[in-house]
Structure 1
Amino acid sequence: MQHDVPTQLAAPAPARAPATRRQQITAGVRDSFSAGLGIFPLGIALGLLVLQAGLPWWLAPALSMSAFAGSLELLLVGMLATVTPLAAVAVTVLVVNFRHVFYAFSFPLHLVKNPLAKAYAVYAMIDEAYAVNASLPAAERSAPRLLAMQIACQTYWVGGGLVGVAIGSALPAPIKGLEFALCALFTTLTLDAFRSRREIPSVLLAGASVAFALVLTPGVAMFTALLLFVGLLLARHALAARRSAQEAADA
Structure 2
Amino acid sequence: MGLAFLPLGLAFGVLVTQSGLPWWWAGLSAALVFGGSFEFLLIGLVTAAAPLAAIALSAFMVNVRHVFYALSFPLHRVNGRLGKAYSTYTLCDEAYALTTGGQARSWPGRRILWLQLLLHLYWAGSSTAGALLGSLVPDGVTGLDFALTALFTVLALDAVRNLRGDLPTPALALLSALAARFLFPGQMLLAAFVLFTAGLLARHLATRRRPSRA
TM-score w.r.t. structure 1 length? 0.64
> Which letter does structure 2 place at the counterpart of 1:188?
T
Task: Report how far residue 158 of structure 1 moved.
Answer: 0.9
Q: Which of 163, 170, 179 lines up with 1:199 in the alignment?
A: 170
Task: Report how far residue 67 of structure 1 moved.
Answer: 1.4
> Are the aligned partners of 1:47 and 1:164 in contact in 2 as well (CA < 8 Å)?
yes
Task: Report how far residue 85 of structure 1 moved.
Answer: 4.8
How many residues align? The count is 205
In percent, how many aligned pairs have the same letter? 34
Given the alignment of the two structures, is residue 70 of structure 1 paired with residue 30 of structure 2, yes or no?
no
Alpha carbons of 1:107 and 1:89: their partners in 2 closer, same or farther (altered >3 Å)?
same
Given the alignment of the two structures, is residue 225 of structure 1 paired with residue 185 of structure 2, yes or no?
no
**Which residues in structure 2 correspond to 1:109-188 (within 5 Å)?**
109-113=76-80, 115-134=81-100, 135-136=103-104, 138=106, 141-143=108-110, 145-171=111-137, 173=139, 180-181=145-146, 184=149, 188=153
Q: Which of 58, 76, 79 lines up with 2:24 in the alignment?
A: 58
> Are the aligned partners of 1:40 and 1:156 in contact in 2 as well (CA < 8 Å)?
yes
Alignment partner, residue 5 of structure 1? none
Alpha carbons of 1:190 and 1:137: their partners in 2 closer, same or farther (altered >3 Å)?
closer
> Are the aligned partners of 2:172 and 2:196 in contact in 1 as well (CA < 8 Å)?
no
Of structures 1 and 2, the one with the larger relative CO (CA 8 A, separation 6+) is: 2
> Are the aligned partners of 1:194 and 1:203 in contact in 2 as well (CA < 8 Å)?
no
Q: For structure 2, which runs of at least 5 residues remain unmatched after alignment? A: none
> Are the aligned partners of 1:71 and 1:182 in contact in 2 as well (CA < 8 Å)?
no
Task: State how far apart, in whole Å, the 2-side matches of 1:38 and 1:186 are.
Answer: 7
Alpha carbons of 1:142 and 1:242: their partners in 2 closer, same or farther (altered >3 Å)?
closer
Task: State how far apart, in whole Å, the 1-side matches of 2:147 and 2:37 are.
Answer: 7
> Are the aligned partners of 1:194 and 1:200 in contact in 2 as well (CA < 8 Å)?
no
Task: State how far apart, in whole Å, the 1-side matches of 2:147 and 2:76 are.
Answer: 29
Alpha carbons of 1:37 and 1:171: their partners in 2 closer, same or farther (altered >3 Å)?
closer
Task: Report how far residue 204 of structure 1 moved.
Answer: 2.9
Given the alignment of the two structures, is residue 92 of structure 1 paired with residue 58 of structure 2, yes or no?
yes
Task: State how far apart, in whole Å, the 2-side matches of 1:228 and 1:247 are.
Answer: 29
Task: State how far apart, in whole Å, the 1-side matches of 2:46 and 2:195 are.
Answer: 29
Q: For structure 1, which runs of at least 5 residues remain unmatched after alignment? A: 1-34, 215-220
Task: State how far apart, in whole Å, the 2-side matches of 1:38 and 1:156 are.
Answer: 9
> Are the aligned partners of 2:68 and 2:193 in contact in 1 as well (CA < 8 Å)?
no
Task: Report how far residue 227 of structure 1 moved.
Answer: 3.6
> Which letter does structure 1 place at the counterpart of 2:149?
A
Please say which structure displays the higher CA radius of gyration: 1
Task: Report how far residue 53 of structure 1 moved.
Answer: 3.1
SS of the residue 2:193 aligns to: helix
Alpha carbons of 1:103 and 1:59: their partners in 2 closer, same or farther (altered >3 Å)?
same
Task: Report how far residue 160 of structure 1 moved.
Answer: 0.7
Alignment partner, residue 236 of structure 1? 199
Alpha carbons of 1:155 and 1:227: their partners in 2 closer, same or farther (altered >3 Å)?
closer
Alpha carbons of 1:236 and 1:98: their partners in 2 closer, same or farther (altered >3 Å)?
same
> Are the aligned partners of 1:72 and 1:93 in contact in 2 as well (CA < 8 Å)?
yes
- CA deviation digits over 1:56-109, x for unaligned, max 9? 322211211121132322332344344555444333322433333344444244
Given the alignment of the two structures, is residue 36 of structure 1 paired with residue 2 of structure 2, yes or no?
yes
Task: Report how far residue 205 of structure 1 moved.
Answer: 2.4
Alpha carbons of 1:110 and 1:201: their partners in 2 closer, same or farther (altered >3 Å)?
closer
- CA deviation digits over 1:158-209, x for unaligned, max 9? 111112113322347586776x448735873697488884313322322332
State the superposition RMSD in angstroms.
3.4
Alpha carbons of 1:184 and 1:131: their partners in 2 closer, same or farther (altered >3 Å)?
closer
